Structures are given as C-alpha cells and as structure tokens.
Amino acid sequence: GAVVSQHPSWVICKSGTSVKIECRSLDFQATTMFWYRQFPKQSLMLMATSNEGSKATYEQGVEKDKFLINHASLTLSTLTVTSAHPEDSSFYICSARVLQGANLISPLHFGNGTRLTVT
Amino acid sequence: ILNVEQSPQSLHVQEGDSTNFTCSFPSSNFYALHWYRWETAKSPEALFVMTLNGDEKKKGRISATLNTKEGYSYLYIKGSQPEDSATYLCAFDNFNKFYFGSGTKLNVKP
C-alpha cells in the first residue's frame, strides 16, 4: 500500500517553455504532499509543501511564481515549472505521508522522481 | 536550514562484509529520525522511523540505533548482499518538515 505515482519520469524542454509534473497518491488520500529538488551530489531539498484545497507553503529562496503548485484533490498535486531555464534542470521528486489517526510520525512515500533537462 | 550530515559519502564492500554508516543531526528540538533506502531507478523506500533516545530497530539484516542527546544515528548492515547496493538516506523530521542528508552510496561486490 501507500503508492505514489509521479509523471513524467523524464522530460526535455526548451528554454522559456513550461513543464507540468504530476504526483498522485494511488491508494490513500494525501492532504499534504511535499516537493523536493535534488542537484547532483546534493541532498533532497524541500521546495514546498502542498496542501489540498489551499495555497502551498514555499521554502525560503523558492520562487512561488516560477514553481506553481496545485493540490486540487486529495490524490493529486502538480508542480509546474514556468518559463524554464537551463538552471532549472534538476531532479524533482514528490512525497506524501499517510496520517495514522493522531500519530503523525509515519514515513514519507515517494514518487519515482522526474529528471528535467532544459535546453 | 537544519544541517544533517551523513558519512561516508560512499562505501564499497565485498559480499558478506558487515558495514555501518552514520547520520548526524541537531540534538535540540528532536522529533523523529527516518532512514530510507534508495535504489537506482526506484523511489526511496522507508526503512525505519525512530523517535526515542536509545531506540534500536531491526529489519532482517539491517538495524539502526538512535542517540538523540548527542545527535547521531547509525545504520548497520550485517552480511551485505549485492541487493543491498543502494543509497541510504537519513532525514531529520522536524514535525512534518524533513531535512535530508546527502546519503551514503553503498556498493556491494559479489
């Protein structure tokens, strides 16, 4: 159980175009999803926390107008990289937590990630 | 930004060797510490969630210990197998906000 599906796995786009990445929880409802970015040889860095039905919470230094997050349902969150530039080339990965009653100490369940290359 | 460090960055062992690696994290305001295994082309998979000082968890040949007072956790693999080859991530859980280490990449040679 607790499967997270992320699409696409990889995408190549031209500079100036926008790219949408989808993250779906297949067998559970995720009121909160997390979007991470990883540059080569670095750790996963939290970009934003996506909350169903409300605005996402962005980490310091992450441009909310560039990285648009929509969490319209309990099973789907999307990240749109707008007007992509080569420096946006990175590995993006989403995750969600299955909340177990009052116990919030549950692990994250991750998608497979998306490798974005902007040319 | 909280600093979570893992060492070593990479490790090469022979099949059958036992190995261990370290995760260091802030010792103040501790909530939970997570370990994940990340195989190539797959998604990270949860191994352990640890919350109590002195906690020790085990799953097959893999075990982990936790010292919240000094801010470290060890992950042990007994009798490494080629299928254990992966990157092992630890994450400091600051109440629904995770700070990841860079991972330890383990390569087990048959």
Question: Tens of pLDDT along B45-94?
Answer: 999 999 999 999 999 999 999 999 999 999 999 999 999 999 999 999 98
Predicted pLDDT of residue A104: 60
Query: Considering CB atoms only, which of B31, B34, B96 is closest to A107?
Result: B34
Does B46 sit within 8 Å of A108, measured CB to CB? yes
Higher pLDDT, B26 or A41: B26
Residues 50-109 of A with CB under 8 A from B: 93, 95, 97, 104-109
Write out the residues of chain B at the interface with chain A, using a CB-CB cutoff of 8 A. Answer: 4, 31-32, 34, 36, 41-44, 46, 49, 51, 89, 91, 93, 95-103
Of A1-15, A103-117, B22-36, B47-61, give the lowest mean pLDDT range.
A103-117
Collapse the DSSP code of B82 into the 3-class scheme (helix H, G, I; strand E, B; otherwise coil) and give the result.
helix
pLDDT (mean) for A33-48:
93
pLDDT (mean) for B30-47:
94
Minimum distance, in Å, between the CA of residue A88 and any CA atom of chain B: 20
Q: Is the C-alpha dihedral spanning B39, A68, A49, B104 positive or negative?
A: positive
CB contact at 8 A, A116 and A19 = yes
